[in-house]
């Protein structure tokens, strides 16, 4: 009987060690390489569906020193609710001067205003200007609040593909890299 319990104990330790190793690898991949995230809400229409898309968010490029580019769709900590993550498009980088759309009144007449993005910050906007809380409301966002870049949409299957890098409704007036 002792031999049975000794073998049982050894196999349990071995299994626990294997599970712990898998957990460490999964956590490392989610933290430093890529993760699946659900994007829900109207602010990124038409890029994402308001009822929800599953998106691969890659994190490795930031760790490798590749900075965010204008037009990237990024996952960021919400400046208005630190418990929430938001998908927005990075339309301005630190040092950029951009003209951004501004909604005026109930009839939604679009005008623009000129904004200088401070160094170390990004200007984030939803693709759906009529229904997005973004930098037009809360101002520039520190780069440290960025959590990753939307890379590939995997669900719904009809929308499978790379997430497009584009500049919508924003005019770049001057750039720190020009």
Which are the catalytic amino acids? 43, 88
Tokens of 174: 């001057």
Ordered DSSP codes for the chain:
-HHHHHHHHHHHHHHHHHHHHHHHHHHHHHHHTEEEEEE-SGGGTTTS-TT-EEEEEE-HHHHTT----TT-EEEEE-SS-TT-EEEEEEEEETT-EEEEEEEETTTTEEEEEEEEPPTTEEEEE-S-GGG--SHHHH--EEGGGEEEEEEEEEESGGG-EEPPP---S-EEEE-TT-
Residue tagged 């580019």 (tokens):
69
Going by C-alpha positions, the residue among 125, 95, 89 that lies closest to residue 110 is: 125
């Amino acid at each position: 009987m002792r031999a049975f319990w000794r073998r049982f104990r050894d196999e349990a330790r071995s299994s626990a060690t294997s599970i712990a190793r898998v957990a460490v690898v999964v956590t490392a991949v989610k933290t430093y390489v890529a993760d699946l995230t659900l994007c829900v809400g109207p602010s990124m229409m038409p890029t994402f569906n308001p009822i929800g898309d599953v998106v691969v968010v890659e994190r490795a490029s930031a760790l490798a020193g590749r900075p965010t580019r204008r037009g990237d769709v990024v996952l960021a900590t919400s400046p208005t609710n630190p418990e929430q993550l938001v998908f927005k498009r990075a339309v301005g980088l630190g040092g950029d001067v951009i003209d951004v759309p501004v909604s005026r009144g109930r009839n939604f007449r679009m005008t623009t205003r000129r904004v200088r993005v401070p160094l170390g910050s990004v200007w984030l906007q939803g693709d759906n200007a009529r229904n997005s809380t973004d930098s037009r409301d809360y101002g520039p966002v520190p780069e440290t609040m960025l959590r990753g870049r939307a890379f590939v949409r995997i669900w719904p299957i009809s929308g499978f593909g790379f997430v497009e890098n584009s500049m919508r409704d924003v005019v770049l007036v001057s750039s720190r890299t020009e």
